[in-house]
Structure 1
Amino acid sequence: MSIAPLHSSPPLTAASGLREVHAVLDRCGGVDDVSTYAAASLIGELERAVARLQSMKLTLVARVDKADVAADAGMTGTAAWLAARSRTDGASAAKELRLATALDEGLAVTRAALGQGQLSTEHAHVIARATEQLPPGLDVEERLAIEQRLVAVAQRVDPIALRKAARRALESAKRDQTEVDAHEDSVLRSEETRALAATKLTLHDNLDGTITGHFTVPTLAGQILKKVIQQIASPRRFAQRAAKDAKAQAAQGGARDALTASELAEATWARFRTEDLEWSQKYGRAFVELLEHLPTDHLTRKVNATILVTLDHERLKAGLGAAHLDTGHDVSASQARRLACGAGFVPAVLGGQSQVLDLGRSQRFFTEAQRVALAVVYDTCAADDCDRPYAWTEHHHEDPWSTGGATDLDQAVPLCGYHHQRIHDPGYQHRIARDDRRKRVTFVKRS
């Protein structure tokens, strides 16, 4: 939905424009009477308006910083002055000031796109940081090409995906593959070094039988912990017990012994729901279970979670570029080589030895080898706009096994637990389309 003026108007000063914005907002009143469809359409336009106002604010912040208004007010610096004026914390104000300065001193394409509401300030932060990390020796045209490419990508993806694309920014400057890989590796190493420096753990005894803690760890370590906790808390751990209970009940009633997939799923969720806990509580208990089962009697150097890592064979040998994890995270190739020495990583090396990936009707479930193969293609669940990482997915047969479908790689559709349930839900229609090698699943609720 696009909102455009009915007729052109003369330009306003910034002060007059802001007064009109407030006046219009006052006239808008509440949004309680807005229909659901209208609300969904307006969200995007509201985000665009917010981005344009933030762009104006950043321009003003840069002006204030140049004039050293903070010194006139007797404050330590512009960040402190801004924190006081915007009633925010010093770290957030300093981050805003850095972006305002970067946009004022260059990044004209980014500044214009933000001013039009075509990207968010978080996108702009990523672009500013990426341009800071570019190697010396690039000329003005190359830097402009990189910025234009990043702005174009930012209009299609979220800041996390943009950050990944930015690591390979030299591709937009037509640099050779080795140089692109080396720059990506340098950026990842720099991120990992800063992450390690920021790592800390604090524990406080509450003297009531609990300990409260706070930690900051590198993303890789956090992803490993997150994956282990989710696996421990997963309702699928209840499947075996649910099946046993359901079979016992069926036997008492003289019913059949075997359960259908839908009956087993319902029994699993029924047992899972009996805990009556919030997800935070489930994760907390999973964390306790993890801590209580750590191998403290013989600590090893092995990573205590199985993570699928994908990288090109040549990059593995050279130790340059990035390796991709099935949690959606990237690590440097050199770190992947180090971690591969432990038992916690399953490597998917492109160009390496192949494995049998098509099983026909000989096997009901997809294998680990097939899962590794699909990790090269998918970062997330195959459902449209689902950002749950590939590591969370289950493999659905595009042609159902129950009607003769084969367990071949081409038939696999990775779906998170939620969308796997939706694809079997008669209340929804779905369509599977191909986008290059990847499949995309679109859901529509039946009326």
Structure 2
Amino acid sequence: MIDELARADRAVAACADTAVWALAEPDLIAALDATHRLAQRLAAVQLALVRELDGRGTAVAQGASSTAVWLRGRLRLDIGAARRLVALAASVDVAPPAVRQALADGAVSVEQARVIADTAATVSAVAGTEVADRAVGMLVEWAGQFEPTLLRRMGTRILDHVAPDLADAADAATLAAEAAREARDRHVTVSEQTGGRLRLSGILDAETAALLRAAIDPLSAPSGPDDTRCAGQRRHDALADVCRLALRTGELPETGGDPAQLVVTTSFDGLTRQLGVGALDVGLRLTPDTVRRLACDAAVLPAVLGGAGQVLDVGRQRRLVTGPLRRALVLRDRGCAFPGCDRPPRWCAAHHIRHWADGGPTSLDNAVLLCGHHHRHVHQADWVVRLGDDGRPEFIPPAWLDPDRLPRRNEFHRRT
């Protein structure tokens, strides 16, 4: 085997040196098909080797805690990829011989083989190995036309073709198997990055995926023609809004339910001069702009220190827009007051028109409701916020956006 693999390695190396630009289009396509078929055949050999090494306990014998951990170091894989390789090797190993042969022949991809193996296991449990073998033959044939996701979907109805009298029972078994797979595979990984950022990754089961979409999809749409955020950034901001809402409900467990859990520490002199950096209670440093924006968020409790480090104030209650004052603000603005925004009051924070750190009072005449996105925007851009003669908020755009700087209002919440 080693000699044959070395010969194949030399052949592939020779192909890598070929000037593909000189190939005619039909030859390019034929070469692409050939490389794909060869990759699947090599995958079949690799999976067989992984399964044998796992069965012999080679990894543990060499001091690793598992085969996946050993593969991570040996093949320089991410641990997730190493675990999937071990799981796939086990899945293919117990699959019907026709599945392993199709993979070895390059007739199916690795992921198609896993779909066929999973389906065969479900059908075998319901209808026996003879029916499962017929199902495998049909799925291998379909694999020449359909990618893994469609193949799995078609596999859920395979008994309609090979054993119609058992289709209903198989449906129930398939659903149970899918539910078990969802429960097994569900996870969310939170990895710390530099600068206090987090990287999220994971797999959600169908119900949780539906809940997430229901929560963030309405908040992920562009806020207007001037919204330059990409789709991923909009989903990020929508998730932040969902977290802010959860904190405001007061229904979370005691360790996280109080919206005043976030403490911003800064110097009073730096805050008033718009120059002071700050720090969260978890040690993350914040820019002056972020400190000033957070300092007027009704869900944040500031800890303001003097020059010598003494505590001057920890969340003066008169600074917070709460209770009857917030209710009056909601009745007046009915949601985010920024022009064109449709975010409801529960997604909004109270913004001090004249900043609290500049001596601005906490009163209805000095507050306006803003959603998280527009709260950041107002703090970072050159918009001017004021109350009109009728007491309603109006926003004066920067000169680069409107040279005449005509005041704008949000009429969305006035439609009903």
Provide the TM-score with structure 2 as the length reference: 0.48
Tell me which structure has the larger Cα radius of gyration.
Answer: 2
Provide the TM-score with structure 1 as the length reference: 0.45
